[in-house]
Each structure stands twice: as structure tokens, then as C-alpha cells.
Structure 1
Amino acid sequence: MTEPYAMPAAQPLSDLSDDALDWQVLLHSGNASAADHARYQRWCALSPAHAEAAREAEALWLDIGHTPTAQVVAAPHARRKRHWAAGLAASLALLVAGYTGWQQAPIWLADYHTGLGQRQAVTLADGSRVLLNSGSALTVAFTDRERRVVINAGEALFETASDPRPFVVDSAGEAVRGTGATFSVRRDGRVVLAQGEATVGERSVPVSPDASAQTAWQRGKLIFNGKPLGQVLAELERYQQGRILLSDTKLAALEVSGVFDLDEPQALLRTLEQRYGLQVTYLPWLAVVH
């Protein structure tokens, strides 16, 4: 999606609808910057047709939780809008599915990998044990001088075997050394040391007081204690297909506590509905919490 520098020629309404959908996906992704919001306002002002497409897409986003039984019989013009909105919702689901598939690409090229919702235990050539979390991938590159593994995606828990060669975990270009230690490393840079000694670069990593909770996924559990809902949903998204979005960003700060079963990720969403008065609308490859 690009922002034109001059007033474009008239675009078909379907193209404008697709562009408006792209904007909603970006603006509600949690990664939109102030510059993105400014660009969106300029896009809306390009023409009355742009403004109308934006209003329709925004209305769909706000209305996405409404069920068919809650809707009254509409006038012909309203029915046409609803037909367009249904197509837009389907396009949103396809975009999310495509994005999710693209994200998984690095996984299949690694030495070891797990699908979403899967965990796998691996014993390396030196005797070290590795447990891969959901949607994770690991590449092994042992040499005579060091034992190096690369986290291509996701997260892994390491129980390193005794060996004169250093044990190095490369995560997004950052080296974690933990010979004779038990620790987990995530692709996003998080390191949780359960026992032993580990370093990130030249910095020593302290043993995590809540290591048991942070690595509860190895026991098939997720544990949250006053965590913001936005973080909880981002974590849950790692264990199931598709995306989980918040329709109201104000809900992201809602504090959530509990112990949840990873083998039933949908149960966490049901608990959120029951315990916190939230609602979840399910679309193909997409769940919207509101």
C-alpha cells in the first residue's frame, strides 16, 4: 500500500475498499506510528470516495462484533452496504491468513521445527536437551570450537550438557552463552535463566525469580499475574492459528491473572469472556476481542 504524492485518477470503488481495509489492518495492528496515522488522514482527504471507503471500513471494524441475530431487516441500500461489509470481512480474513503463512516460512527451513500448538523435545549430538515451544524453529551448527544453535523462530528451552566447547544460542543476531545451564531463549530477545550461569554478550544474566512461571509452557500451561490483556492475547496468539485482535485499544491495559491450559487455547478466550465481561467474535483465521 503506497500513498500517492498527487491526486490520482478515479479509482474503482473495489480498489478503494481494499485500500481502506489495508489501512484498518495497519492501524489496528499495534505497530502503527504517528506518521502512519497522519498518512491515513491524508489518504482519507484525497477525494469524497476515499473518505466514504474509510468510513465504511471503520464502521465495519467497530461493528464486527454484531451478530446477525442482533440486526434488523435492512433497507435495500443498507443491505448493499452489508453485502460489501461481508466481502470486506472475508478479505480481512484472507489477508490475515496470508500474513500468518508468510510468517511461518522460516520455520520449515530449519533443522528442527514445531507447528502452532506443538512442542517437541530434541537431544542434540553433545547430549544437550532442547524443548521447542509452539511455532518454533532451531538450526544446529556445531563445530570443533563451539556448539552453536540458531533460534530461527519462536522459543526453546535448553538444558546444556557438560562439554569443553561453549554452548552459544544465536537469537536475532544476539549471542547467549549458557554452558552447564538451564535457560530459555526467545527470538524476540527474552532470556529466562532457571539455573546455572548465562551471559548475553558481555552481560551476565541473573537467575529469574519467576522462571517457573515464565517457562510454564514446557508443562503445557500459561501463567499470568496481572498481565495487560494486550500482552496476554499476543502470547496466546503464538499457540493457535490466525490472529487475535482487540477492537478497542483501551482494553489492552486490562489486567489479567490465571493459569491456562495450552492444549485448549480457546478455553482462555472463553475464560476472558466469562471472567472479564469481554466478547469474542470469530472469523476465519481471526478472533476479535471487544
Structure 2
Amino acid sequence: MPSEPQPILDLSDAAIDWQVLLHSGTASAADRSRYQRWRELSAEHLAAAEEAEALWGDIGHTEAAARLSVVPRRSRRWGSAIAASLVLALVGYGGWQQAPALLADYHTSTGERRTVTLEDGSRVTLNSASAFSVKYSDDRRLVSLREGEALFEPAQDPRPFVVDSGDERVQGSGAVFSVRRQGQAASVVVARGEARVGERLLAASPDAQAQTAWQRGKLIFNGRPLREVIAELERYQHGRILISDNQLGALPVSGVFDLDDPHGLLRTLEQRYELKVTYLPWLAVLY
């Protein structure tokens, strides 16, 4: 989200973008201040902002949603504006997401998992929307994780097995480990053996099976905040899932969920925690 959002199609779309950000659970005080300044740029900005705020207030309220079918023409256009905004956002996101894959030897699309065997016999299991390249030399085997997450099972070889993932470099020739890259940052989970991360030596994690359950098609949560559960789920499907407020986002969630049925996770949350979900094009809102 740019510091001062610009209209995609018109001010209506920009106002919707602001509402998505402000209700995402990640908006900062600075974001809210920028929004207030944006609202005050002109009378047209203010009108677009007020309409977007009213629309967001209607999400999840059955009676209000029913009234959308009889409101004046100017308000009805928001339905198509939402769809247009979200489709454009998805196209932009898809283009960005494909960029690492264009430079990679191996990649997966959103929701796809794939296991590949490398030239030296090493096995790599890629998670959703992930990409990596590999380069062999006489003194090492170098994997560049360009995006996403992968589980590495290096084959025996005198050359070190090294994974480069932005700011982190992992060496784990005798280990089984996963690396997850987010921007230039990376997190490492060792499932077996020991791996060196920079100057640190990491041993196998006691909850490695749960943290790498994605390779078996499962997501396992034990008292994780709902906002973190939803952030994980978003990695495996197109579109966005938003939570109505921060208090709900802090709700602790436990359970084992099937990655091959991401919508089933939302249904389970509805039933187990008495939540409601409103579905819009490329968007689901929990409240």
C-alpha cells in the first residue's frame, strides 16, 4: 500500500483500498493519520470516503445488506466498484507473485505443493507460491530460495549444501530442514540433525512436525491468534481474508486443518468459534 494511495479507476476504488488496509489488523497510527489527510483533500475525497465507510459498516449485517438492493443508484455502484478494485488488486498481486518464478528453476503456484529431486539426489518439497534455483560447483551445492517456503533433504555429498534466502544463509548437509522466506527475512525449522544459520547452530525443533505439517497437506495450530491463522490460510488461496476487528484477531485457535480444503477451514471456524463470514468477490470478511 503506497503512503498516499492513488485511485485505480476513480476515488471510489481508492477509498475501498483504504478500508481494506484500515480493517486488515495491520494498519498503524501513521496509516490512520494518512487516511484522515486523504479524506480532507477535497469534497470528492470526503464523499468517496464516507461511502466506503458506510459500505464497510454494512458488511455482515443482514438487514443492511438486504437494503443494498433498494438504495439509490449512486450507492449501488459500490458492488461493481468492489469487484473491480479487488480484481485489479489480484491481477497486480499475481503479476508480482510470478516475478520470482520467472527467474527460478522450480516453482509452485498458489495452493500447489511439489516435491522435486535434484541432480545430486537431494529432495526439495516446495510449499504454496514458492520458487528456487540451484547451482552446483566443485566446492558447494547452492540453492537460492527466491520466494516462499521449502523443505530440504540433502543427499550425501562431500560438498556443503547451502540455502541462500535473502539475509540468511543456511548450511545443513546432514540435516532435514525447512526455510521460509518473507522479503529479505527468513525463518528456519530443523526437523532432523543440525543446521548452521549464519554464525548460529540450530538443533532439531521439538515442534518441527507441526511446523512442517504443510508438506503432509495439514495446518496445525495450538492456541495461535486468529489473525495468524488467517495469514497462514491466505498463503494457500487467491483473494483476501479480512478480520473485522483486532479483538477478534486475538482469538486463540487450535486444531488440525486440511490444506486441500481451505474453504473448509473457514467453515470449521464458523462452527467451532461461532464466527460469521461474508463472502465478496475475491474477499472474505470474518466477524
TM-score for the superposition, normalised by structure 2: 0.89
**Shift of residue 64 of structure 1?**
2.4
**Shift of residue 3 of structure 1?**
4.5
Match of 2:242 in 1: 245
**Shift of residue 34 of structure 1?**
2.3
Question: What SS class does the counterpart of residue 10 from structure 2 fall into?
Answer: helix
Match of 1:103 in 2: 96
Structure 1 runs of 4+ off > 6 angstroms? none
The answer on 1:286 being equivalent to 2:283 is yes
**C-alpha offsets along residues 239-259 of structure 1, whole Å, 9 cap, x if unaligned?**
112111112232110110100
Instruction: Sort the Cα spacing of 1:202 and 1:156 in 2 relative to 1 into closer, same or farther, 3 A.
Output: same
Match of 2:80 in 1: 87
**Shift of residue 73 of structure 1?**
7.8
Aligned length: 280
Equivalent position amino acid for 1:176 in 2: V
Alignment partner of 2:145 out of 151, 170, 179: 151
Equivalent position amino acid for 2:89 in 1: V
Instruction: Sort the Cα spacing of 1:59 and 1:206 in 2 relative to 1 into closer, same or farther, 3 A.
Output: farther
- The 5 A counterparts of 1:58-137 are 58-66=53-61, 71-72=66-67, 78-105=71-98, 106-137=100-131
The answer on 1:36 being equivalent to 2:35 is no
Q: Distance in 1 between matches of 2:273 and 2:134?
A: 43
Alignment partner of 1:272 out of 269, 276, 281: 269
Q: Distance in 2 between matches of 1:39 and 1:184?
A: 39
**C-alpha offsets along residues 6-40 of structure 1, whole Å, 9 cap, x if unaligned?**
xxxxxx9x732232123223333444332221111
Question: What SS class does the counterpart of residue 127 from structure 1 fall into?
Answer: coil
Question: What SS class does the counterpart of residue 266 from structure 1 fall into?
Answer: helix
The answer on 1:23 being equivalent to 2:24 is no
Match of 1:257 in 2: 254
- Structure 2 gaps of 5+ residues are none
Which has the larger displacement, 243-252 or 99-108? 99-108
Alignment partner of 1:197 out of 182, 194, 204: 194
**Shift of residue 69 of structure 1?**
9.2
**Shift of residue 74 of structure 1?**
6.7
Instruction: Sort the Cα spacing of 1:102 and 1:32 in 2 relative to 1 into closer, same or farther, 3 A.
Output: farther
Residues 61 and 247 in structure 1, CA contact (< 8 A), matched pair in contact too: no
Q: Distance in 2 between matches of 1:216 and 1:66?
A: 36
Q: Distance in 1 between matches of 2:110 and 2:168?
A: 25
Instruction: Sort the Cα spacing of 1:104 and 1:256 in 2 relative to 1 into closer, same or farther, 3 A.
Output: same
Q: Distance in 1 between matches of 2:92 and 2:54?
A: 23
- The 5 A counterparts of 1:46-57 are 46-57=41-52
**Shift of residue 2 of structure 1?**
6.6
Instruction: Sort the Cα spacing of 1:68 and 1:136 in 2 relative to 1 into closer, same or farther, 3 A.
Output: farther
Question: What SS class does the counterpart of residue 17 from structure 2 fall into?
Answer: helix
**Shift of residue 164 of structure 1?**
1.5
**Shift of residue 204 of structure 1?**
1.3
Match of 2:175 in 1: 181
**Shift of residue 218 of structure 1?**
1.1
Equivalent position amino acid for 1:112 in 2: Y
Q: Distance in 1 between matches of 2:285 and 2:109?
A: 23
Q: Distance in 1 between matches of 2:169 and 2:73?
A: 56
Q: Distance in 1 between matches of 2:52 and 2:95?
A: 24
Equivalent position amino acid for 2:148 in 1: G
Q: Distance in 2 between matches of 1:98 and 1:220?
A: 27
TM-score for the superposition, normalised by structure 1: 0.89
